[in-house]
């Protein structure tokens, strides 16, 4: 993707000039500014919401076949431009190019394919005697997406909204905006009707706040920190709009005593540090029997030390830099907090990795002998930092797994499927992944407790964008 200033917003079917204010975008691998993007205003939000409101009556009445065709064109264009998206994300947020090609981009495209599959078989009306229950699109939807999975989170929201017949105003993160701008061009080239999809870039304090409080926005969906989700919900409450939140996490990876430790521990380290640990559902608390702690320490340290950290454009790189400076500082501070709190450092530590003299690179770090009350065991770090927590028995393991304000994702390792499902039923989280299953775009994703409310992906994500109407008589 060429380095350039992107000074326009996408509103009402056209690229339009924005105010003069521009936000710099920095390549986290080099620290160099790679371009600037438009910072939208409340007035820009008003224009975009007005366009979406005008477009809604016609688009909400469009046929299923028409929306299926639109989604098909979007999917095809994303496939054709996959390398452009991978390169953009590597530049703007430092994801390793191999990971961008094998995970960031294809999983994002899969969200579009899944929503086509949902739409093809969805029953819009159910009827019994004199009662008909119908589903209808909710209206104008404001979508706020994060910097860590920039395209993936866009398609996870835009695809079901479009499938449902809603119109959209998207606010992507200003920290990873280039992939969002490429996506807006895909929507334009796919022939989305004017006003159905709009993009207003900018900050959460301005654009996000204006969307949250806007009286003509019927629903808002946000993926971000718990703090940001609370602010959005507070602003949205005045107009009583629907709020769907996918927020923070501190996910456990519970190894029962019959688990495959020889291969499962290394997989757990990689799962916790995938995307440089910048995933809200990353399993960063590894719970293991106290009797196996020494064995787990050896396996985990070997796995962490084998991770190749470096230039994200190098295809041999597994882990690029942290995506931005505030997050880098947060991760370094939390590593120091782990040491100060008495945890046993068995891999990594503070400072840059060996051989790195610049950029926002972090050493893959593993702490052992972590107790549930330690700061590193309770706060979301959002970096490649794993906590190994020993437990005495199954009951204590389940209690530790649930001892968190979050409840987004969790992992569970066991050789006994019956036992694993029994324990999974006692974990308070929106997803429980047993023995590292393949990603499933139809599986609902969302959280308990302070990890949010509502669900994304598959039919459950689709139905967040629908209203229910009863017709009686």
pTM of the predicted model over 0.85: yes
The DSSP line for 256-284 is: -TTS-HHHHHHHHHHHHHGGGG--TT---
- The predicted structure's pLDDT at residue 23: 94
Among candidate residues 141, 166, 174, 280, the one labeled active-site is: 280
pLDDT surpassing 80 at residue 1: no
pLDDT surpassing 50 at residue 254: yes
Identify the CA nearest to 3 among candidates 27, 20, 23, 22.
Answer: 27
Which domains, and CATH codes, for the chain? Answer: 8-247+451-472 (3.40.605.10), 252-440 (3.40.309.10)
Among candidate residues 75, 174, 246, 464, the one labeled active-site is: 246
pLDDT surpassing 80 at residue 20: no
Q: Are 151 and 183 within 8 A, CB to CB? A: yes
E strands in 95-139: 125-128, 131-137
Tell me the three state secondary structure of residue 305. helix
Catalytic, 83? Answer no
> What are the residue ranges of helices labelled H in 341-470?
375-378, 394-402, 417-424, 458-463
Catalytic, 66? Answer no
For 265, other C-beta atoms within 10 Å of its C-beta total: 27
Confidence grade of residue 56 (pLDDT, cut at 50, 70, 90): very high
pLDDT surpassing 70 at residue 129: yes
pLDDT surpassing 80 at residue 4: no
* Burial of 154 per CB tally in 10 Å (0-12, 13-18, 19+): buried
Q: How much is the average pLDDT of 138-166?
A: 98
- Residue with the bigger pLDDT between 128 and 20: it is 128
Average pLDDT, the chain: 97
B/e letters for 359-377, b = 16+ CB within 10 Å, e = fewer, are bbbbbbbbbbbbebebebb
Confidence grade of residue 74 (pLDDT, cut at 50, 70, 90): very high
How many Å separate Cα 453 from the centre of its chain? 14
Q: How much is the average pLDDT of 113-136?
A: 97
């Amino acid at each position: 993707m060429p380095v350039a200033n992107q000074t326009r917003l996408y509103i009402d079917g056209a690229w339009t000039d924005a105010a003069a204010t521009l936000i710099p975008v920095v390549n986290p691998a080099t620290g160099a500014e790679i371009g600037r993007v438009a910072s939208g205003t409340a007035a820009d939000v008003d224009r975009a919401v007005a366009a979406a409101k005008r477009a809604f009556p016609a688009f909400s009445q469009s046929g299923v076949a028409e929306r299926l065709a639109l989604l098909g064109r979007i999917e095809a264009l994303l496939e054709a431009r996959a390398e452009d998206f991978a390169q953009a994300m590597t530049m703007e947020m430092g994801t390793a190019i191999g990971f961008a090609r094998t995970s960031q981009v294809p999983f994002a495209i899969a969200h579009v394919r899944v929503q086509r599959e949902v739409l093809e078989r969805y029953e819009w009306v159910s009827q019994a005697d004199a009662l008909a229950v119908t589903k209808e699109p909710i209206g104008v939807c404001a979508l706020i997406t994060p910097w860590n999975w920039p395209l993936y989170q866009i398609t996870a929201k835009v695809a079901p909204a479009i499938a449902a017949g809603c119109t959209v105003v998207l606010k992507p993160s200003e920290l990873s905006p280039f992939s969002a701008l490429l996506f807006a061009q895909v929507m334009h080239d796919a022939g989305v009707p004017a006003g159905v999809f709009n993009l207003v870039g900018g900050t959460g304090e301005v654009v996000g706040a204006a969307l949250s409080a806007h009286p003509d926005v019927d629903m808002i969906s946000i993926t971000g920190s718990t703090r940001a989700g609370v602010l959005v919900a507070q602003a949205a409450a005045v107009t009583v709009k629907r709020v769907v939140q996918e927020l923070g996490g501190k996910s456990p990876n519970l190894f029962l005593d019959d688990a495959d430790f020889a291969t499962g521990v290394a997989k757990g380290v990689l799962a916790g540090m995938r995307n440089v640990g910048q995933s809200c559902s990353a399993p960063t608390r590894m719970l293991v029997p106290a009797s196996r702690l020494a064995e787990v320490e050896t396996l985990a340290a070997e796995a962490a030390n084998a991770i190749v950290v470096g230039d994200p454009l190098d295809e041999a790189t597994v882990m690029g830099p942290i995506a931005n400076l505030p997050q880098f500082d947060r991760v370094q501070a939390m590593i120091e907090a782990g040491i100060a709190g008495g945890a046993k450092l068995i891999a990594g530590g503070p400072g840059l990795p060996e051989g790195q003299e610049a950029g926002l690179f972090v050493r893959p770090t593993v702490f052992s002998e972590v107790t549930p009350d330690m700061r590193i065991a309770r706060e979301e770090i959002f970096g490649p930092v794993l906590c190994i927590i020993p437990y005495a028995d199954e009951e204590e393991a389940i209690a530790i797994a649930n001892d968190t304000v979050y409840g987004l994702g969790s992992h569970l390792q066991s050789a006994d499927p019956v036992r694993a499902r029994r324990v999974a039923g006692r974990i308070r989280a929106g997803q429980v992944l047993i023995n590292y299953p393949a990603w499933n775009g139809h599986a609902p994703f969302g959280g308990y407790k302070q990890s949010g409310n509502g669900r994304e992906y598959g039919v459950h994500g689709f139905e967040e964008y629908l209203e229910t109407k009863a017709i009686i008589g």
